[in-house]
Amino acid sequence: MKDILVSETFHKLYNSDSRKMDKLSDESVNLVLTSPPYPMVEMWDDLFKSWDKNTKNALSKNLGNEAFEAMHLQLDKVWGECFRVLKEGGILLINIGDATRSIGGEFSLFSNHSRILQACRNFGFTSLPDILWRKQTNSPTKFMGSGMYPVGAYVTYEHEYILILRKGGLRKYSKSETEIRRNSAFFWEERNVWFSDVWDLKGERQIFKDVGASRERTAAFPLDFAYRLVNMFSIKGDTVLDPFLGTGTASLAALLSSRNSLGYDVDQGILEISRKKLLAAVNVSSKILQNRLQSHLDFISDRKKQKKEISHTNKHYGFPVVTSQETELTFELVDSSLEIEHFSLKAHYSPYNLQNSSKK
């Protein structure tokens, strides 16, 4: 097998406010993947109040629309910073849910996703087709409003958005990046699932123990969710930024995918969770690759039974693939994840070997 192109990656966590990411240079990041605090969701009120007195005043006076706009004006500062640090052709991915809330006795929907899209387009981002994430965290018997009586009942919200935005035109690749891009390919059957506009993934269970975190919940998304997005919208060796890192899922997905990562969070206790996740990446790497590759081998087996054509072979592993773009796809196993200094880590990789799985 040809030597891997990425043998180590670096991961830095900043205990700082992402509304001003002055430690990051202009055009230094390839992908931003984040889930921000959700405006008009009560668990985030205290954070937004601490950022801006206008939010506090509007909420105290039950002025819902004013509070909504004041909260988003603070998030706008982060999107502006994301535009600055992203390279041309870089992608911004934002997981956001709309909010439903009663303010002053009036129940209303606050459309976070449309407000963020508007702001990002104003900064110069191009909006691309988005993904609906059906979290299915609610019981099917739960409802809002007047129950069985018409007009006063409300639709149960079980989806969130993955907004996809690009800075500038299509990314241009150097000669070396073109080779890395071929090694960063995904399977044909993965593409068919990953690039669907509706995802059904369960939300992340959030448990914090003995880490000194000052808040009990985050806007965490599942590892499968972040892993997909990192592989869909970056190549190996890229740098992935999460300006609202929380428990570190985006950074972990980047590390497992042979990407570098940067993360910001104002809560040092929650950054400790991120740090521990990254240090334990070796335990996750083998399992996630085994599951991914076994799923492919099962898919190929089923395709053969259906007598469907399989006309290509992966050059590195010898198993069949559907398209020529999958023939140079490779995987790396995380050998180690070590702390250089507090909140700064380095991961080392080796080629992933299938052993006898290509004979299945």
Full pLDDT tens readout for the chain, 360 residues: 455 678 999 999 999 999 999 999 999 999 999 999 999 999 999 999 999 999 999 999 999 999 999 999 999 999 999 999 999 999 999 999 999 999 999 999 999 999 999 999 999 999 999 999 998 655 555 556 666 778 777 787 889 999 999 999 999 999 999 999 999 999 999 999 999 999 988 754 443 333 344 444 445 679 999 999 999 999 999 999 999 999 999 999 999 999 999 999 999 999 999 999 999 999 999 999 999 999 999 999 999 999 998 999 999 999 999 999 999 999 999 999 999 999 999 999 999 987 644 433
Please report which residue ranges of the chain form alpha helices under DSSP H: 45-51, 53-60, 64-85, 112-123, 175-183, 188-194, 223-233, 249-256, 268-279, 281-305
Per-residue model confidence (pLDDT) at position 150: 81
Per-residue model confidence (pLDDT) at position 353: 86
In 3-state terms, what secondary structure has residue 38? coil
215, two tokens? 């808040």
Per-residue model confidence (pLDDT) at position 5: 77
Side-chain half-sphere exposure of 247, counting CA atoms within 13 A: 19
In 3-state terms, what secondary structure has residue 335? strand
92: Cβ–Cβ under 8 A, 6 or more apart, which residues? 32, 79, 82, 83, 86, 120, 125, 163, 164, 165, 166, 167
Domains of the chain by residue range? 8-283
Per-residue model confidence (pLDDT) at position 346: 98
Q: Which amino acid is at 272?
A: E
Residue 263 near residue 220, CB atoms below 8 Å: no
Per-residue model confidence (pLDDT) at position 203: 54
Per-residue model confidence (pLDDT) at position 359: 39
Q: With CA atoms as reference, report the closest residue to 82 among 119, 38, 47.
A: 119
Per-residue model confidence (pLDDT) at position 275: 97
Per-residue model confidence (pLDDT) at position 136: 65
Domain 8-283: what homologous superfamily?
Vaccinia Virus protein VP39 (3.40.50.150)
